[in-house]
Amino acid sequence: MIEKNLAPPDSAAAVANVTDIRTRRGKLVSSVITLAHGGGGKAMRDLIDDVFIDAFSNPALNTLEDQARFQLSDLAKLGDRLAMTTDSYVIDPIFFPGGDIGKLAICGTVNDLAVGGATPLYLTCAMIIEEGMQVDTLRQIVKSMADTAREAGVTIVTGDTKVVGRGSCDKIFINTAGIGVIHQDYKLGAHQAQAGDHILVNGFLGDHGAAILNARGDMHLTSPIESDCAPLHDLIQTLLKAAPHTRFIRDATRGGIASVLNEIADASKCAIEIHETKTPLRQEVKGFCEILGLDPLYLANEGKLVAVVPAEETDAALTAMRGHALGKDAADIGTVLHDGRPGRVHMQTLFGGKRIVDMLVGEQLPRIC
């Protein structure tokens, strides 16, 4: 329904300058990040030219000025509302099975836009780098960002580079802010969940949280769990076409699906019931959680969404998601109840019991994203 037909942003001058800078200046000499790379002078310019411009190269990347510009009339072709979001990524370790901080920084922000029904378009990229980082490590992260941005159909249009002394940050923190445009047909909101609606997820839960925890620890599982980190914009567009009356979509990141379900119950003043037997969990993740005493409902995901869909569109939604690479294990895990205490989420357990699924209290896992 939505076609991307934006003209290149309004920065012809900047484009010309990219080339000038690239031909005029040499390759970066240092193999290690120094404080000078964040100083606003020649070293920073060289770093940007050599590491960022090469990877992010696109007509929108305005290297000379601190702002990117877009014609509002082009944006209006895609919908009626602009969506804006931001996230900082501080994940530890910065490379993990299934991804790295760069991929995560693109997927997370793309997903935050997409779950609102927006077509993600333009991202900013602001890095805080610890002095002493290898330039090649940074290059690898930036390449991962560029590859993921290409996959997600978004453009990195402006950025910022800060370098702090050794010990003043842990390797690298990345902020991406993003804008997208929401088509006039989509009006999603957690408060719209209604009794009878179904709760869908697009696949196995908790992979990201388990992967990170495993990558940090000493368990060395024989079949290591991979993060599910992925851009969900295309799956979401597929879902919305199949189930145009979808009430709400949310990616289940920090706090897991438990937190998303609680927010939906809270906003809609409804009760929600999910079923343990219908909730897709990989055997490895289940085992991992049992050993460590973790509840997979609270584990972070970076490629999983929760959708609230009216009963009559549930089958179509499931079929559509299962036909997409990122939704082939999609499941209908529960419903919004006609009765029950407003704001309450509970789970029917495997053994026929019922347990309350509350919001996460305390901290399950720091620096998960």
Q: State yes or no: residue 135 binds a copy of itself (CB under 8 A).
A: no
Q: What is the largest CA-CA distance in the chain?
A: 71
DSSP characters over 209-256: HHHHHHHHSS---SSPPPP-----HHHHHHHHHH-TT--EEEE--TTH
Site string for a copy of itself, 317-346 (x = CB under 8 A): ------------------------------
Cis peptide before 93 (omega within 30 of 0): yes
How far is it, in rounded angstroms, from Cα 76 to Cα 78?
A: 5
| Closer residue to a copy of itself (CB): 162 or 241 | 162
Per CB under 8 A, the segment of 16-24, 50-58, 218-226, 318-326 that binds a copy of itself is: 16-24
User: CB-wise, 221 or 359, nearer to a copy of itself?
Assistant: 359
Examine residue 83 and tell whether it contacts a copy of itself (CB under 8 A): yes
Token representation of residue 106: 């693109």
Using CB under 8 A, pick the residue from 190, 195, 221, 316 that binds a copy of itself.
Answer: 190
Number of residues interacting with a copy of itself: please give it, by CB under 8 A.
91
d(CA 324, CA 3): 19
Does the protein bind a copy of itself through residue 58 (CB under 8 A)?
A: no
83 versus 320: smaller Cβ distance to a copy of itself: 83
Residues of this chain, 30-49, that bind a copy of itself according to CB under 8 A? 34-36, 38-45
Nearer to a copy of itself, 66 or 218 (CB): 66
Nearer to a copy of itself, 87 or 332 (CB): 87
Q: Of residues 136-175, which lie at the interface with a copy of itself (CB under 8 A)?
A: 157-160, 162-165, 167-170, 173, 175
Q: How far is the CB of 303 from a copy of itself (least distance, A)?
A: 16
Residue 109 near residue 240 (C-beta atoms within 8 A)? no
Output the six-digit token pair for 40.
């606003």
User: What are phi and psi for residue 178, nearest 5 degrees?
Assistant: -145, 155
Torsion of CA 167, 170, 172, 175, to 10 degrees: -110
